[in-house]
Amino acid sequence: MPHRPTAPTAPTAPTAPTAPTAEFPVSGRDAGPYGITCGPDSALWFTMVHHGQIGRITPDGGVTSYQLETASSGPSLITTGPDDALWFTEFRSHRIGRITTTGNISSFPLPTPDAGPFGIAMGPDAALWFTEAGADRIGRITPDGHVTEFPLPLSGAFPSAIATGPDDRLWFTMNQANAIGAIGLDGDVTVHPLSTPASAPVGITAGADGALWFVEIGAGQIGRITPDGKIDEFALPDRASRPHAIAADADGNCWFTEWAANRIGRITPDGRIDEHDLPSPASEPHGLTLGPDSAIWTALEIGTIARLTPR
């Protein structure tokens, strides 16, 4: 039985922007850089959702791009797999993709039609786990391409991002069900409803404090849930900022994108928030990740990758 969620915490006044930020052009404005992750080769790998491409950028700004077989496949989120390849979801072609660090690409169709895979994460069992936003399922794929699917107990939930928790379960957001889910390796699912109406959670990450942190794009809040289901919510200073993705750093904080406000935010384990403006206007930040240089890297829809260096 999940714990009853707590009431939203009052917003914390942001500090003045202090983190130096650099931007690197990686594509045209219509390519749509979207998901991003740190690869096993100490480069950043990212998806270009509108052009069906996977990109790679080194910390010094060197860019390479790889074209997928189908330009309209909609590559979305991306992560490093147990085989030191990059694995990504193809939301529109309903496949799971794989690319090696040398650029060899393969793709695996899903058994459920119109599954709409979106979030993906490496599980504790050396497999990749992913959400099927269009089919209300959680999927699992082994490095050799064997797929298993687990149905959710809700319909129309639109499962979105997914992350491995400290309890060796996979935790995921249910964007349209206003809830956070957890699935065990045996497929057993637990659902934790959120108390804020229409909060529409999207990104989720495992924090250094043993909890999962997530963003509520519909409510302008950051949420925290412990493995036993206790939920706290922290209101952002700008409730219309549309927080989208979230990632943990090495210092115990979590960083998040504010898609509608052109900012990157940071929240400490005790709920203190500071925000950093991006230099290009209306850049629409989406995914973000901790880089090999301990900077925060984020994909901007205007066709650039930004590097924010915390002080």
Annotated binding residue 284 = yes
Q: 311: burial class by Cβ within 10 Å (0-12, 13-18, 19+)?
A: exposed
Annotated binding residue 275 = no
Contact 76, 88 (CB under 8 A): yes
Q: How far is 104 from 68, CA to CA, in rounded Å?
A: 10
153: left (phi over 0), alpha (psi -120 to 50) or beta: alpha
Handedness of CA 124, 125, 128, 131 (dihedral sign): negative
Q: How far is 78 from 145, CA to CA, in rounded Å?
A: 16
DSSP of 239-297, one letter per residue?
TTS-EEEEEE-TTS-EEEEETTTTEEEEE-TT--EEEEE-SSTT--EEEEEE-TTS-EE
Structure tokens at 258: 């504010």
Q: How far is 132 from 41, CA to CA, in rounded Å?
A: 28
Amino acid type, 105: I
Annotated binding residue 244 = yes
Is there a catalytic annotation at residue 276? no
Among candidate residues 50, 94, 276, 286, the one labeled active-site is 286
Residue stretches of the annotated binding site for Mg(2+): 284, 301
Task: Specify binding-site residues.
Answer: 244, 284, 301
Which residues carry a binding-site annotation for substrate?
Answer: 244
Catalytic residues: 286
